[in-house]
């Protein structure tokens, strides 16, 4: 008597594939990406001496640079991925001399915050930015307030402003914003990231071997390498969380209502040019008040490049008058790029 008919082998293979698929699902659901726990609820966020107390009671370190006398504008600085608020020390000192105040806090998961290295979630990061903007509006009821987001901080600013159209800010400054969404990343990279985040979320990776040059300011890069508050080894699920944030930022491009200044370096090797152009075009489709500047000598870390002062002064000039051409003339280069195919 035969053990099975001609279709037995294929049926067994299908069953084996089903068992393996179920086993994979069981394994990955047991290894979900980790998010920071939320603290106890407070009545409202608070600004204390060099601390920003969030709505759930977490204390985030806060740096403040004030000009002499009343500021003519206030900038809320949101730092980039694996960085912290000290990223704004040089631009804030220049803006202070030009009469502009700067406030910058360590975003959750970075710098001196609790649960450093663990991703807090897109909504939590955006909520913090919204709450901080409102606290600054209370402190400066009649002064223009702008959010300046660098890389990841730019994505946070986009989501925050799109999420709450009543947010009391007068404009958005996006410095090489992290808008490299999965749609522009490609299925292979995004799929590999999903698999890693759901199988080995605790694994850490570094940027070594990628041969990416984030800036031409080598002395600054060496200082960052020695700085213990700059994260050097990143959890896979934190990178996955960043991808979620970038997805949200790209999707929210058409929902921004305040004036926007987008600044990008021609030599940026971190955020590809194509996603940035797609983001700008989505802004344009929404009939948005957008100024765009491309810097021929600029890398990803625009404010800390060797030519960073050019970018800083463009920010100050745009704050003074959104309609006046930027001192650097970098809008001309942006127009050339955007007019291309």
Q: What is the DSSP secondary-structure string of 36-76?
A: PPP----SS-EEETTEEE-TTS-EEEEEEE--SSS-SEEEE
Q: What is the mean pLDDT of the chain?
A: 89
Distance CA 30, CA 310 (A): 49
Cα 333–Cα 336–Cα 337 angle in degrees, nearest 5: 90
Distance CA 177, CA 255 (A): 16
Q: Are strands 51-53 and 59-65 parallel, antiparallel or unpaired?
A: antiparallel
Return the pLDDT at 265.
Answer: 98
The DSSP string of 279-323 is: HHHHHHHTT--EEEEEETT--SSGGGSTTHHHHHHHHHHHHH-TT
Return the pLDDT at 6.
Answer: 46
Return the pLDDT at 317.
Answer: 98
Is residue 103 within 8 A of residue 76, CB to CB? The reply is yes
Distance CA 76, CA 238 (A): 24
Could you tell me if residue 59 is left (phi over 0), alpha (psi between -120 and 50 degrees) or otherwise beta? beta
Q: How many residues does the chain have?
A: 341
pLDDT 10s digits, 7-56: 555 555 555 444 344 344 444 445 788 888 887 777 689 999 899 999 99
| Sequence-ordered alpha helix ranges (H) in 79-181 | 89-97, 122-139, 152-163
Name 282's Cβ contacts closer than 8 Å, sequence gap at least 6.
Answer: 250, 253, 254
Per DSSP, the three-state class of 172 is strand
Architecture of domain 40-338: 3-Layer(aba) Sandwich (3.40)
Specify the residue for token string 């086993």. Answer: 23
pTM: 0.89
Longest dimension (CA), the chain: 98
pLDDT 10s digits, 214-251: 999 999 999 999 999 999 999 999 999 999 999 999 99
Phi then psi for residue 48, to 5 deg, are -115, -175
Residuewise pLDDT in 10s, the chain (341 residues): 334 444 555 555 555 444 344 344 444 445 788 888 887 777 689 999 899 999 999 999 999 999 999 999 999 999 999 999 999 999 999 999 999 999 999 999 999 999 999 999 999 999 999 999 999 999 999 999 999 999 999 999 999 999 988 899 999 999 999 999 888 887 888 888 888 888 898 898 887 777 899 999 999 999 999 999 999 999 999 999 999 999 999 999 999 989 999 999 999 999 999 999 999 999 988 766 899 999 999 999 999 999 999 999 999 999 999 989 999 999 999 999 999 86
DSSP code at position 33? P
Task: Sketch the domain layout of the chain as residue ranges.
Answer: 40-338
Facing residues of 61 across strands? 51
């Amino acid at each position: 008597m035969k053990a099975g008919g001609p279709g037995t082998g294929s049926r067994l293979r299908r069953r084996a594939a089903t068992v393996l698929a179920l086993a994979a699902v069981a394994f990955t659901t047991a290894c979900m990406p980790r998010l920071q726990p939320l603290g106890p609820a407070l009545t409202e966020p608070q600004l204390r001496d060099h601390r920003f107390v969030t709505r759930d009671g977490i204390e985030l370190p806060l740096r403040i640079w004030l000009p002499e006398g009343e500021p003519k504008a206030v900038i809320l600085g949101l730092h980039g991925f694996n960085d912290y608020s000290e990223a704004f020390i040089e631009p804030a000192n220049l803006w202070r001399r030009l009469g502009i105040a700067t406030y910058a806090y360590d975003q959750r998961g970075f710098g001196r915050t609790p649960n450093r290295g663990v991703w807090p979630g897109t909504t939590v990061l955006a909520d913090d930015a919204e709450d901080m903007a409102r606290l600054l509006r209370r402190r400066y009821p009649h002064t223009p307030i702008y959010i300046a987001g660098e890389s990841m901080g730019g994505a946070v600013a986009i989501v925050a402003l799109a999420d709450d159209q009543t947010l009391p800010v007068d404009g958005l400054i996006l410095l090489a914003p992290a808008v490299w969404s999965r749609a522009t990343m490609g299925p292979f990279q995004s799929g590999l990231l999903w698999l890693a985040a759901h199988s080995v979320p605790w694994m850490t990776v570094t940027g070594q071997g990628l041969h990416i040059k984030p800036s031409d300011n080598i002395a600054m890069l060496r200082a960052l390498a020695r700085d213990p508050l700059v994260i050097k080894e990143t959890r896979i699920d934190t990178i996955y969380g960043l991808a979620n944030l970038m997805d949200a930022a790209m999707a929210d491009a058409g929902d921004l209502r305040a004036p926007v200044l987008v600044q990008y370096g021609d030599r940026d090797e971190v955020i590809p040019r194509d996603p940035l152009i797609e983001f700008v075009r989505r802004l344009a489709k929404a009939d948005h008040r957008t100024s765009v500047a491309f810097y021929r000598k600029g890398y990803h870390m625009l404010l800390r490049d060797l030519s960073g002062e050019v970018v800083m002064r463009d920010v100050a000039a745009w704050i003074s008058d959104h309609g006046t051409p930027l001192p650097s003339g970098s809008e001309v280069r942006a127009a050339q790029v955007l007019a291309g195919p």
